[in-house]
Amino acid sequence: MVALGVVLLVLVAAFTLVIVINGLDPMTLDSSGLLQLSLFGARIPANELGLFGSGAVAMLVLIIALALIRAGLRRGAARRRQQRTLLKAASGQAAADAERKPASKRSYPGRPGAPDEAGREPEHR
C-alpha cells in the first residue's frame, strides 16, 4: 500500500511540475476561446472547466495517495506491535516452562553433576 501511494504521489508531482513548468502561455487563446496548453511541445486545447477538472482529479489522486501511505504505515506499525507482544508472551511462556520443570531436571549450583557458575559441565571420572 505504501508503494502504490508513493507511485501515485510521484505521478501527481510530475503532472503538477509539467503543468507549472510548461504551463499556459499567457497569450494562447484561440478564436473559439480555448486555452492552448503546451505540454512537451504539443498544444492541447482546454477550457477553464477542463483545467479545473484536471486539477481536481490531481488533488483527488493526491489525497488517495496520502491515505494509502498512511494506512500502510499504520498497518506496519500494528504488525510490529503485535510481533513484539507475541515475542514477549513467548519469552514469558519459556520462563514459565522452565519453572515447571521437574526437580530432577533443574540445575542447582553445587549439586553433583550440575554445571558451575561459568556453565561448564563437571568432568566425569
- pLDDT, tens digit (0-9, with 9 covering 90-100), for 34-62: 777 766 677 777 777 877 888 899 999 99
- Is 104 within the bounds of a domain? no
For residue 101, the number of C-alpha atoms closer than 13 Å in the C-beta half-sphere is: 10
- Is 57 within the bounds of a domain? yes
- Is 19 within the bounds of a domain? yes
Contact 29/35 with Cβ under 8 angstroms? yes
If we measure between CA atoms, which residue out of 48, 65, 59, 60 comes closest to residue 16?
59
**Residues composing the chain:** 125
- Is 49 within the bounds of a domain? yes
Model pTM score:
0.59
More confident residue, 104 or 46: 46
Domain count, the chain: 1
- Is 84 within the bounds of a domain? no
- Is 105 within the bounds of a domain? no
- Is 60 within the bounds of a domain? yes
Range of the domain at 12: 2-79
pLDDT, mean over the chain:
77
The residue whose grid cell reads 511540475 is: 17
